[in-house]
Every structure is written in structure tokens, then in C-alpha cells.
Amino acid sequence: MTAADLTDLAGRVAVVTGACGRLGPAWVDALLGSGATVIGLDRAAEPDSALREVLDAHGDKQFDFHVADVTDRTTLERVLAACPGPPQVLVNSAGIDSPPSALGGGARFGDLPKELSGTVLDVNALGTLQCCQVFGTAMAAGGGGSIVNIGSLYAGLAPDPRLYEHIQVDPPFLKPPAYGMSKAAVAALTRYLAALWGPAGVRVNTLSPGGVRGDQDAEFVAKFTARVPLGRMALAADLRGPLLFLASAQSGYVTGTELMVDGGFGCW
Ligand SMILES: NC(=O)c1ccc[n+]([C@@H]2O[C@H](COP(=O)([O-])OP(=O)(O)OC[C@H]3O[C@@H](n4cnc5c(N)ncnc54)[C@H](O)[C@@H]3O)[C@@H](O)[C@H]2O)c1
């Protein structure tokens, strides 16, 4: 088998949750580029411009978009029923990272409403669990496959408050504690399912990106980058290779792990 054969996903059905946004289109791009038929779902009403660009580049014959909410099992079951066959790849990317400022005025740690934390945990942790219950169970019954749960640097490391102290708001900006909690739960779910479904041929791994360059302010970027041995924030394109590694036969003997794609942020 050649190296190219190892990443060939032709004939495979891949489900991507959170197919819009910053990273969803990168996962779709990588999977379509390897020949998979991709079923993208998002709570957004339609593909956003980044996803449209990917579909324009590949053609949308092997892509189907569904509006679905990872917290609503009925919508996920509807997507499964519309799949052209049992999925062999599942990328759990739908997620939220709601800072207290999303409430309008911000909040101090002691005043964070339980509902805000609950929403983050509901989407990121329980939503991922529910997608595994619906799509992963079909994979296990259908002969196996690969689940890639998108984690985060902050599953294993605390966000450094100094990265945010230049932001002039009162109360001071807080990265929501529930975000890292939810991603740690995702990593735990990965290990749980790797043990449960190994005998059924379903591999389950976490891919944990570091900070991805977006609309962050220049001071944040400078402070963040100073902590990255590779000297820059990630680009969505940096994540395609790691995703294909975990999704394909290249990682046929890899399960239950967390692959850090963080430019070395966590190594010192
Ligand atoms: N961007 C980063 O720097 C970064 C770093 C580490 C980890 N991550 C993780 O990667 C994943 C993707 O991040 P992103 O930057 O693309 O985020 P994003 O906010 O740009 O996109 C997330 C997508 O998920 C969708 N979504 C949210 N809640 C949903 C729900 N309940 N049901 C269905 N779809 C839902 C949104 O509509 C959106 O299209 C997330 O899990 C995030 O935590 C991102």
C-alpha cells in the first residue's frame, strides 16, 4: 500500500459537525480532497462563505449540508437517515466558546451564571457525546471507522489570564472555565469510546488545536505567539494533515490518544 493509498477515503461517508465556522470548512476540504463523501451539519441555516469556497473548489457532488443541532438528538437522527450509507468517519467539531461578555456586560468568576457554563458544556461535551451515540453507534454496527473529536489546548492547560489583561473591560475579560472543562470531558469521552468500540473496529481520537489565527487583536496575537515555539498561531490549513492522519488508515493502530496540533505551545 502506498502512502497515498493510506489516506484514500474514496467510497467512505464522513460526517462533520460544525461544518461552517473557522475550522469546519478545513475539515470538509481535507475529506473531500481525499475522496470521501461528506455530510456536513451545522446549526447555521446554510453553508457560510468559507464552506461555499471549499465546495466551489471541489464541486458539491460529494457533499450534502444539513441544518442540525448537536444538542437535539432528533435532528441528528434525521441526518443519519439521510446518509448514503453507514458513516466511516465522524469529525465532532461543533463547539462554542462563549465568554462572559456574550452576556452583554461580562461577569467576574464568582458571578458567572450556571446557565452560561451549562450551555458550553451542553454543546461541547454532551453534544459530542450525543453525536457519538447516533453516528458512532451506526459506525460500530456498520463495520468500524474513525471518530475524531476536536478538543483544545485548554483541555489540558489553563488559559493564561495575562494574555487578556490588556483588554480594557470591567469586569476583566474571562475565558469561560466551562470551555476547558468541556474539552477535558471530550478527551475523557475519547478514551472511554476507544475502549468500548475497539473490538468493533471504531478508532476514537482527539485532535486538539492550539490557537487558530482569526480576528484576535494584535496584542493578543503577539503575546500568544511569544509562547509558541513555532512562532506563530495555527492556520486552519495546518489542521488538515493531522485530521487526515487520524481519519484514515495512516493511523490504523492509533486509538484513545490526543494529538496536539499547537505549534509546541504545551511543551514548556
Ligand atoms: N479556532 C480555534 O482557535 C480553536 C482552537 C482549539 C479548538 N477549537 C475547537 O474547534 C472546533 C471548531 O472551532 P471553530 O474555530 O471552527 O469555531 P466556530 O465558532 O468558528 O465554528 C463552530 C461551528 O459550530 C457550529 N455550532 C455551534 N453550536 C452548534 C450546535 N449546537 N449544533 C450544531 N452546530 C453548532 C457553529 O454554527 C459554527 O459553524 C470547536 O470545537 C472549537 O472548540 C478551535
Which of 96, 124, 207, 265, when mutated, tests ligand 1's pocket best, judged by the most ligand atoms within 8 Å of its CB? 96
Answer yes or no: is the C-beta of 120 below 6 A from any ligand 1 atom: no
Whole-number Å distance, alpha carbon 138 to ligand 1 midpoint, is: 24
Burial zone of 235 (CB within 10 Å; 0-12 exposed, 13-18 middle, 19+ buried) = exposed
Alpha helices by DSSP H, listed for the chain, are: 3-6, 24-33, 49-58, 73-82, 114-121, 127-131, 137-141, 177-197, 218-226, 240-247
* Ligand 1 atom nearest residue 233's Cα: 3
Which pLDDT score is estimated for 65? 98
* Ligand 1 atom nearest residue 183's Cα: 43
* Ligand 1 atom nearest residue 92's Cα: 41
Non-local CB neighbours of 19 within 8 Å, separated by 6+ positions? 25, 27, 28, 40, 41, 42, 47, 51, 65, 93
* Ligand 1 atom nearest residue 154's Cα: 6
Answer yes or no: is the C-beta of 43 below 6 A from any ligand 1 atom: yes
* Ligand 1 atom nearest residue 24's Cα: 16
Answer yes or no: is the C-beta of 263 below 6 A from any ligand 1 atom: no
Which pLDDT score is estimated for 87? 98
Cα–Cα distance list, 73 to 42, 77, 134 (Å): 13, 6, 8
Answer yes or no: is the C-beta of 69 below 6 A from any ligand 1 atom: yes
Nearest CA to ligand 1 atom 1: 212
- Tens of pLDDT, residue by residue over 185-209, are 999 999 999 999 999 999 999 999 9
Nearest CA to ligand 1 atom 11: 93
Which of 77, 93, 126, 233, when mutated, tests ligand 1's pocket best, judged by the most ligand atoms within 8 Å of its CB? 93
Residue 126 resides in a domain? yes
Range of the domain at 132: 3-263
User: What's the chain's average pLDDT?
Assistant: 96
Answer yes or no: is the C-beta of 25 below 6 A from any ligand 1 atom: no
- Tens of pLDDT, residue by residue over 193-249, are 999 999 999 999 999 999 999 999 999 999 999 999 999 999 999 999 999 999 999
Which pLDDT score is estimated for 106? 83
Residue 123 resides in a domain? yes
Nearest CA to ligand 1 atom 19: 21
- The CA-CA-CA angle for residues 173, 178, 180, to 5°, reads 90
Contact criterion met (CB below 8 Å) for 25 and 212: no
* Ligand 1 atom nearest residue 18's Cα: 24
Which pLDDT score is estimated for 100? 72
Q: What is the CATH number of the domain that holds 211?
A: 3.40.50.720
Under-50 pLDDT residues of the chain: none
Which pLDDT score is estimated for 57? 97
**Number of folded domains that form the chain:** 1
Which pLDDT score is estimated for 28? 98
Residue 268 resides in a domain? no
pTM: 0.97
